[in-house]
């Protein structure tokens, strides 16, 4: 079997950005689309997380039940304290309504109603939370309740783990819509409600799209937010942050000024007449202007002697400062009348990557 390794582009000058002001004990800025960490401070230190716990509560509900299900509030709400939406036993709400109360008003009572509806008990619901955390890669996270109160049992996580959760949550349209809603109105069989989102960044920062706030005296102020500017979609997590709104806004402005999304591999631009090499996915990545010159794209070709239509004939991989950031299979479409002149087709393939 012949094997051909082609280096398409190799340039240097890798720089990392330095952010001067950060009021949090732990923080991170993560690109939602690529998963790239653009800034971090003590991002893997385990801390109490308070009500940003409720992001996981919302995801478990979204993944396991129909949000239009009608839920009858049980006696479990009588034991809840702190931030509540003040629903009463016997009150009827859709699961979707409870999620609005959970995310906008940080309702601890909403959290236990959701847990009992989804899993029959909070204990069983918390098991689902921890299973999902491991699936997402939240290796330094432990959930012990569905709301984040920490007087009796505590939920611990890290800024990095919560950023992974925020990235995962943003795949769901329902989550995006709920967490980004500024005001929600509802009438039940018992009461009428108007819930304003506690996330003040939605009103003060033009690029803000959603998130969840949290606070307990032990945890301090915790905050997960999301923001989009152009085609750059970010999430920020800060733990124990006394100036969280200003901090998030400043971090967003700083990162948006430094990074821009760059289309590095365009799957729709890898084609030509006789043999057509193709990949199934495009690849974009946030880069500073200086980092653009540190990108290296390689194609490792093999199976060049005997291949058929739609065979895998190699792998394309992209690296930044010698660290791999993307890998994708390369396939071939064969014109049966003409399989010769393979080298010229490789050259055309490489050229097409950067047109």
pLDDT digits (tens, 9 = 90+) for 71-106: 999 999 999 999 999 999 999 999 999 999 999 999
Return the closest-CA partner of residue 32 out of 220, 200, 227, 303: 227
Asked if the model's pLDDT at residue 191 lies above 60, the reply is yes
In this structure, the number of other CB atoms found within 10 A of the CB of residue 221 comes to: 20
3-state helix, strand, coil in the chain (%, to 5): 30, 30, 35
Helix (H) or strand (E) holding 160: helix 159-169
| 51 assigned to active site | yes
Mean pLDDT (whole number) for 14-40:
84
Per-residue model confidence (pLDDT) at position 6 = 39
Quote the strand ranges of the chain, DSSP E.
Answer: 3-10, 24-31, 37-41, 47-48, 70-72, 92-94, 156-157, 183-187, 192-196, 208-216, 220-229, 232-241, 260-265, 276-278, 283-287, 295-302, 312-320, 323-333
Per-residue model confidence (pLDDT) at position 350 = 56
Asked if the model's pLDDT at residue 3 lies above 50, the reply is no
pTM higher than 0.85: yes
Per-residue model confidence (pLDDT) at position 341 = 55
Per-residue model confidence (pLDDT) at position 299 = 86
Architecture of domain 3-13+262-353: Roll (2.30)
DSSP-based three-state secondary structure for 51: helix
Evaluate whether the domain defined by 44-209 bears CATH number 3.40.710.10: yes
Mean residue pLDDT across the chain: 89
pLDDT band at 302 (very low <50, low <70, confident <90, very high): confident
Considering the chain, what percentage of its residues have pLDDT values greater than 90? 74
Domain borders along the chain are 3-13+262-353, 44-209
Return the closest-CA partner of residue 136 out of 112, 103, 110, 160: 160
The tens digit of pLDDT for each residue in 110-164 reads 999 999 999 989 999 999 999 999 999 999 999 999 999 999 999 999 999 999 9
Task: Yes or no: say if 351 and 298 are a contact pair by the CB < 8 Å rule.
Answer: no
Per-residue model confidence (pLDDT) at position 343 = 53
Annotated catalytic residue: which of 51, 83, 179, 348?
51
Per-residue model confidence (pLDDT) at position 347 = 54
The tens digit of pLDDT for each residue in 226-250 reads 999 999 999 999 999 999 999 999 9
Asked if the model's pLDDT at residue 277 lies above 50, the reply is yes
Residue whose structure tokens are 């706030």: 213
Annotated catalytic residue: which of 26, 27, 54, 221?
54
Annotated catalytic residue: which of 106, 157, 166, 225?
106
Measured between its terminal Cα atoms, the distance across the chain in Å is 31
pLDDT band at 33 (very low <50, low <70, confident <90, very high): very high
Task: Yes or no: say if 72 and 97 are a contact pair by the CB < 8 Å rule.
Answer: no
DSSP-based three-state secondary structure for 193: strand
């Amino acid at each position: 079997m012949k094997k051909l390794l082609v280096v398409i582009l190799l340039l240097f000058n890798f720089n990392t950005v330095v952010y001067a002001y950060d009021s949090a004990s732990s923080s991170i800025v993560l690109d939602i689309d690529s998963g790239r960490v653009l800034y971090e401070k003590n991002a893997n230190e385990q801390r109490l997380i308070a009500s940003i716990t409720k992001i996981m509560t919302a995801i478990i509900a979204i993944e396991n039940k129909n949000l239009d299900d009608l839920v009858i509030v049980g006696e479990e709400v009588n034991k809840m304290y702190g931030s509540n939406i003040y629903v009463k036993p016997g009150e009827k709400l859709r699961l979707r309504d409870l999620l609005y109360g959970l995310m906008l008003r940080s309702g601890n009572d909403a959290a236990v109603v959701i847990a009992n509806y989804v899993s029959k008990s909070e204990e069983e619901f918390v098991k689902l939370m921890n299973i999902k955390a491991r699936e997402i890669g939240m290796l330094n996270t432990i959930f012990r309740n569905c709301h984040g109160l920490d007087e009796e049992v505590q939920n611990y996580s890290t800024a990095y783990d919560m950023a992974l959760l925020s990235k995962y949550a943003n795949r769901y349209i329902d989550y995006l819509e709920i967490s980004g809603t500024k005001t929600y109105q509802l009438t039940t069989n018992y009461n009428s409600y108007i819930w304003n989102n506690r996330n003040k960044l939605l009103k003060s920062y033009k690029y803000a799209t959603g998130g969840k706030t949290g606070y307990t005296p032990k945890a301090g102020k915790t905050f997960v937010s999301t923001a989009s500017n152009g085609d750059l979609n970010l999430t920020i997590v800060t733990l124990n942050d006394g100036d969280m709104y200003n901090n998030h806004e400043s971090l967003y402005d700083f990162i948006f000024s430094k990074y821009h999304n760059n289309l590095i591999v365009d799957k729709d631009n890898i084609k030509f007449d006789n043999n057509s090499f193709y990949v199934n996915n495009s690849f974009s990545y946030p880069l500073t202007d200086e980092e653009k010159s540190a990108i290296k794209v390689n194609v490792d070709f093999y199976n060049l002697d005997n291949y058929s239509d739609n065979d895998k004939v190699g792998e394309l991989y992209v690296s930044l400062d010698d660290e791999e950031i993307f890998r994708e299979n390369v396939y071939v479409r064969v014109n049966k009348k003409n399989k010769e002149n393979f080298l010229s087709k490789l050259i055309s393939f490489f050229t097409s990557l950067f047109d």
